[in-house]
Structure 1
């Protein structure tokens, strides 16, 4: 499953006179989506319709303390902005990136949605000096036709093409840094053709299905996690045995997507997990 690469905001400049169906929506105010962390930036979004199920997302962050637009961002996992989206039933997942940052601090991201519906869009960035900030937007998408949804699977495994991810979430606990192990199989055997994706072995994105909280974690080779000499992001050296640290904020159900590069494609494997309360 391929993935493709979405703050103070004014009205977008449109050719509304000639393309009335492509009008921009009003600015959408974001909601801070990192519980337990300090909210230091606020976000706003303008959505421009570019086709039946395609949209241009214009995102701007503002410093909460000063009210000034943020124009400096640090790179995190090779990008200055990660934009992730799922529908309200958590049956789809999109992971995009902004091609560039405008001089006014506004990111623009092209996004294609798989079907009509309401989407939760998460803008994940690191404004310089402020730390990670994640803002959630609720975006209605009309038009197009329904597509077949890929329903998340329950633990302990899920698939994308010939790849299967076996997942062990037994160590996950709410409110604490937990270790989760996963194994990537290809045609039933440990995958030998894995490569890095955005500089790491694999990504895990959790979205709470009740609170809509967000967690973005990344994996390392199991032997490296235990002090060995596993891969450290070297292309072509990704182990099939991986570990990742994650810290879900609270107990309850989460949609989880594991993303990795296998066979020269970005693979996305969905799960539904339940995080227990801390002991």
Structure 2
């Protein structure tokens, strides 16, 4: 998936920044319960939304106090409810280490389950699941039931707090793509893992992925991820979700979500099928990020993971070793 954009398919060089917040997603009623109001807010210990509920709303879901040209865009994935749409995850903890049917709903502006979506990158909805220590990443595609309930067989490998991101485009919504996020608990003792050190090389299933380019906060950056196997470049990557690579980026600390896609697309006559996949990126702030590159080869999708560090674009700052990121939806 956003990131990597849903609102506009794979346009080269389009960079969208995302910002900071922290949301707890399981304060909404469970899937089986009556729908909450369409304009819900984060529950639990999450900070309040940027506006009071009795403040007048503008057409983009903000208040009259943030309509200035310099107002930052709402960051993707940090809110459980945005633009009148609400993500409703299970309220009860999910089992750890067991494959089970994961069910959730998206409520529309009328408070009823949303049942009409526009396809983006070959799917009506992309579900990203990751533990809050940025490990255990999964990207899956649920099935929509007639009653508006999404379901997918899913394993939460270990106990802990997980973040789930629903990445979709409501049918007929002129504002386009949207990413909502919620927290889900997997029962059991949680031992968070430290964030891996930044590195320009990642290995997965015998493949080596290398990262070229640096990420600078507040500036557009070009990043190329190159795939090789046994020391030889892979030049026959297969399309996955309409591209040769699919990149998700999450900021360490608040898990702000950025869904990225590469330049070009398969079959356009100018985009090679590897080894390099090029993205343009803009990070909103300096700091650590985690990148997840999905690529398909010989019929199987694999994920290469990187920790990257964005440096300051001005004042002599420079993107840290292993920096990288991509475009938002």
TM-score after normalising by structure 2: 0.64
Q: Residues 277, 68 of structure 1: CA spacing in aligned structure 2 closer, same or farther, 3 A cutoff?
A: farther
Equivalent position of 1:250 in the other structure? 285
Preserved contact between residue 219 and residue 282 of structure 2 (Cα < 8 Å): yes
Partner Cα distance (2:132, 2:96) in 1: 21
Q: Of 83, 99, 104, which residue of structure 2 is paired with 1:59?
A: 104
The answer on whether the counterparts of 1:165 and 1:182 sit within 8 Å (CA) in structure 2 is: yes
The match for 1:162 is: 206
Q: What SS does the corresponding residue of 2:90 show, helix, strand or coil?
A: strand
CA gap of 1:111–1:121, structure 2 versus 1, over 3 A, is same
Question: How many Å separate the matches in 2 of 1:263 and 1:112?
Answer: 24
Check 1:11–1:218 CA distance in 2 against 1; reply closer, same or farther (3 A cut). Answer: closer
Give, in whole Å, the separation in 2 of the partners of 1:36 and 1:86.
Answer: 14
Q: Structure 2: which 5+ runs fail to align? A: 1-27, 34-40, 47-73, 315-329
Query: Match of 1:125?
Result: 168
Aligned length: 245
Q: Please give the residue correspondences for 1:226-245 in structure 2 after superposition, counting only pairs within 5 Å.
A: 229-231=269-271, 238-245=273-280
The equivalent position to 2:136 in structure 1, one of 92, 97, 109, is 92
Q: Which residue of 1 aligns with 2:180?
A: 135
Summarize the Cα distance change of 1:208–1:107 in structure 2 as closer, same or farther, 3 Å threshold: same
Contact 1:207–1:213, Cα closer than 8 Å, also in 2: yes
Q: Name the counterpart of 1:217.
A: 260
Secondary structure at 2:135 match in 1: coil
- What residue in structure 2 maps to residue 12 of structure 1? 32
In 1: Cα distance, 2:263 partner to 2:274 partner: 8
The answer on whether the counterparts of 1:60 and 1:69 sit within 8 Å (CA) in structure 2 is yes
Deviation at 1:136, TM superposition (A): 1.5
Greater strand proportion = 1
CA RMSD of aligned residues (A): 3.6
Stretch moving more, 35-44 or 73-82: 35-44
Change (3 A) 1:165 1:150: farther
Q: CA contact under 8 A between 2:30 and 2:88: conserved in structure 1?
A: no
Structure-2 change in CA distance of 1:211 and 1:200 (3 Å): same
Deviates more, 1:113-122 or 1:158-167: 113-122
Unmatched tracts of structure 1, length 5 or more: 1-7, 14-27, 232-236
Question: Contact 1:202/1:220 (CA < 8 Å) preserved in 2?
Answer: no
Deviation at 1:74, TM superposition (A): 1.0
Query: Quick one: which of 235, 247, 252 aligns to 1:204?
Result: 247
Question: Does structure 1 residue 34 correspond to structure 2 residue 76?
Answer: yes
Q: 1:138 to 1:123 in 2, by over 3 A?
A: same
Q: Which shows bigger deviation, 151-160 or 201-210?
A: 151-160
Paired with 2:252 and 2:199, the residues of 1 have a C-alpha distance of 16
Shift of 1:122: 1.2
Deviation at 1:34, TM superposition (A): 1.1
Tell whether the 8 Å contact from 2:95 to 2:187 is kept in structure 1 after alignment: no
C-alpha distance 36-107 of structure 1, shift in aligned 2 (>3 A):
closer
- Select 1:182's aligned residue among 225, 229, 232: 225
